Amino acid sequence: MRFLAIAAATLLTGCATAPAPAGNPTAEAWYGETVQQLSVLNREAESSFENHKPDQAAALIEKGQPMVSRLLSVSRPTLQAVEAASDLDHLYGRMLLSNRHYGWARLLFQKNLSRWRHWQPPTPDTARRLKQAEAAIAECDRHIEE
């Protein structure tokens, strides 16, 4: 009887799913799909903002926040994911700036400044994004001092 119990436990243990290997989440399908979805959402939000539809842009930005969190939660997010997150934060910062919420806008631009100041290896595009963040912070500071 004891033998049957041990044999059954062994068979049941063999049927259990193995833990997922600790791999690179950025190579998984969901990651690339989420980056693409966020990039599309960014373009739609940018278009809405440029077409003077701030409520629609705000809703799209809010919809993108969970995607940003998921993409950046991995230990080494891809450049494309960080760019998409940066684009969403930059647009949100611009919206806050246009509504005279200078301190909140500055915080978002500061996030981008930190992202691009520490990105390795630097590229011409990351340098451009760094300068963009610096200029946006300077604009916030000018308004705060008024």
- Name the CA radius of gyration of the chain, rounded: 22
Residue owning tokens 């919809």: 63
What are the sequence ranges of the domains in the chain?
Answer: 28-145
H or E element that contains 19 = none
pLDDT at 22: 62
pLDDT at 146: 82
Q: Residue 38 class from Cβ within 10 Å (0-12 exposed, 13-18 middle, 19+ buried)?
A: buried
19-23 long-range contacts, Cβ below 8 Å, gap at least 24? none
What average pLDDT score do residues 90-102 get?
97
- Average pLDDT across the chain, whole number: 89
pLDDT digits (tens, 9 = 90+) for 11-55: 444 444 434 446 899 999 999 999 999 999 999 999 999 999 999
